[in-house]
Structure 1
């Protein structure tokens, strides 16, 4: 590819991550408003989050083949179409069932954009993949920092959750214009790569380890994103604007971590960075949830140490599998998304049975499991010397 074509693809992948960051992060701030609107309990909110993850999982399951048959441009356009339909369905719905169906459509759109962007990364990021993957996910963090703050301020100005979601259609239109007016070259290298049978990928121990490492990590990250504001309001008696600010701070330091995290990863090594950051994130989270109200800010500050885990693990995945990459990515994202889906559904169930204080602390358990799995993975990869 020519350099300008590569730059276009890089720009689209970055914009994709900003879009996903904004749209996915406002959900956690709006959960109490949605709960009050439909008069539902935490168990039903857990179903809402389960269905959201299910739509994302299904999109990723079919995403690899869809990318091959439609091409990345059409896949991204399909994603924005579904996001638009899902958003419109949510804001006009007066029935919780119709709302849930719209959520599934919305998140299928998220998954389509995610798989479209991820299948571009092996092409556009040839060198320093750890650094570049962290930079890519920096843009997700940037969007995720903007999203909660926007939603919190809008709530403070007495906007309804429907109005907050409706306003996001503006950025969706801008993104659609960007994709439509861009030229996507044929990615021959990706399309002609040696294919690996699906069952062979599923039987690969390392594929499963990567899947569950990412799955439990994302369950922890989204556990914070989805439930932090609810936890602060119900357990710590913190108001909606301030609790949204804590979530925005979490994503703010998370974003900063991804901006500089790539340099740390290249300096310290992939495994050393992942394990060290996970342990510090776990300690800060435990202190923030068990100590006095004044120390809840440590939960937000733990976002810095959450920051590098996903992109650095994904960079390891790309290094470990140089054949059948699209199939491996599809399988890993599908299994990890399913793990996350179940994890957050369990949080919702525990919240309903024992209170938000108990359910939210499952995030610490998910982080601990991630540490254990990454230590096992380290023994089975070709990058043992990086710790």
Structure 2
């Protein structure tokens, strides 16, 4: 499928490969530099996956230590998503001011500092502040890595975007198991706990700084000139851009909520141990990881828009059926990862292809507004759990009303995946009518 319209641009002749493939010595230099850039992108996604998904096993322990209810947890995650949103709003500008290299280094550094502050947190306020800083770093990293990938991967974009995000899935797969194990370690006569675990995991953020310092990134001036061809106000007037925001927001809320709420759901609804629930979350991310590894070429073959439509619907149906079946269908929670995994990288591929002369601006616009959806989504999940439990507490037993609340909250996660598919149906029809399918 090919796109046609005012946003077209030929990016094939600007690939990094062609820019640096003129002589044998330049080829060798390019190969080494390209390897460094891949190390930054792939390593960045590895760190991103760890930082995002160790919280599943840690949240119940944080909740117990600080005496938090589900609404406070939802508020915590929403306020932290606000930090992510703020970072998204300024990172595009920051990349034009100091360059993508130093923006990435700043993101990695802030994540490491947040790990130190998290270790030292003494109450809900200081925990929220340290989490807020971590999400600032995550937001900067999210935009930075997306811009890096869009500049580098101009061929087979869907495949390469999904391969990059495969590394996020890889670390996400092992993160819950590693986190649950690390929290039980004993060091210097005391338990490692969630504090030590976070400090150790976020210290990994220092590693991608090394290839960042050594690597030579795509020409910053050329990238800046490209973004000037498509100002933010022009994207904001494009109805397709808003549909893409809705698609991505619903998909990402559903994706990220699993890491935050699945362990909590399995422990409280089914009485699973932390280790067993963390194992199921890891299985979710195993499917998630394999999906990004193997389904990337599928997106290039059948089209990015149609791919998102199909995959998100599959994820939503799996989660709803899992809730309806009960504990015996818990494996479907994990299987939902197959469908939800390709959504984010495939939408990034849509942006790179639809806005080739303003990808940085398009990514900033889309991901920033997606952050708004994440703030609202996390807040709603916690609120729905509490509201449902309170609604049925008079007519049901305490245990039954708690289970109903958890089911309602997780049902909202599934509905968000289905809404992602529904908005994608509209997007598909509009793009097809304009002969602009990607």
Per the shorter chain, which TM-score range?
over 0.9
Asked whether the equivalents of residues 142 and 251 of structure 1 are also in contact (C-alpha less than 8 Å), the reply is: yes
Asked whether the equivalents of residues 351 and 359 of structure 2 are also in contact (C-alpha less than 8 Å), the reply is: no
Q: Aligned match of 1:366 in 416, 419, 430?
A: 416
Q: Aligned match of 1:223 in 247, 257, 260?
A: 257
The 2-side partners of 1:292 and 1:149 are apart by: 23
Partner residue of 1:301? 335
The 2-side partners of 1:78 and 1:66 are apart by: 10
Give 1:171 deviation, angstroms.
Answer: 1.4
- Between the two proteins, the alignment pairs up a number of residues equal to 387
Asked whether the equivalents of residues 317 and 418 of structure 2 are also in contact (C-alpha less than 8 Å), the reply is: no
The 2-side partners of 1:124 and 1:185 are apart by: 8
The 2-side partners of 1:210 and 1:252 are apart by: 27
**2:103 paired with 1:93:** no
Give 1:384 deviation, angstroms.
Answer: 5.7
Partner residue of 1:249? 283
**2:131 paired with 1:131:** no
TM-score when scaled to structure 2?
Answer: 0.84
Asked whether the equivalents of residues 316 and 416 of structure 2 are also in contact (C-alpha less than 8 Å), the reply is: no
Give 1:181 deviation, angstroms.
Answer: 3.3
**2:226 paired with 1:193:** yes
SS of the residue corresponding to residue 192 of structure 1 reads helix
**2:124 paired with 1:74:** no
Note the alpha carbon deviations across 1:120-158, whole angstroms, 9 max, x for none.
122210111111111111111111112111112224556
Partner residue of 2:35? 7
Q: Aligned match of 1:36 in 64, 71, 74?
A: 64
The gaps in structure 2 that reach 5 residues or longer are 1-18, 21-29, 186-190, 389-404
Deviates more, 1:55-64 or 1:171-180: 171-180
SS of the residue corresponding to residue 208 of structure 2 reads helix
SS of the residue corresponding to residue 119 of structure 1 reads helix
Partner residue of 1:178? 211
The 1-side partners of 2:437 and 2:213 are apart by: 42
The gaps in structure 1 that reach 5 residues or longer are none
Note the alpha carbon deviations across 1:153-209, whole angstroms, 9 max, x for none.
224556411011011144122222332333335334312215233222222211111
TM-score when scaled to structure 1?
Answer: 0.95
Q: Aligned match of 1:325 in 343, 347, 359?
A: 359
Q: Aligned match of 2:84 in 47, 53, 56?
A: 56
Q: Aligned match of 1:340 in 350, 363, 374?
A: 374
- Give the structure with higher Rg (CA): 2
Partner residue of 2:11? none
**2:312 paired with 1:278:** yes
SS of the residue corresponding to residue 54 of structure 2 reads helix
Asked whether the equivalents of residues 112 and 206 of structure 2 are also in contact (C-alpha less than 8 Å), the reply is: no
Give 1:271 deviation, angstroms.
Answer: 2.9
Asked whether the equivalents of residues 320 and 381 of structure 1 are also in contact (C-alpha less than 8 Å), the reply is: no
SS of the residue corresponding to residue 207 of structure 2 reads helix
**2:274 paired with 1:240:** yes
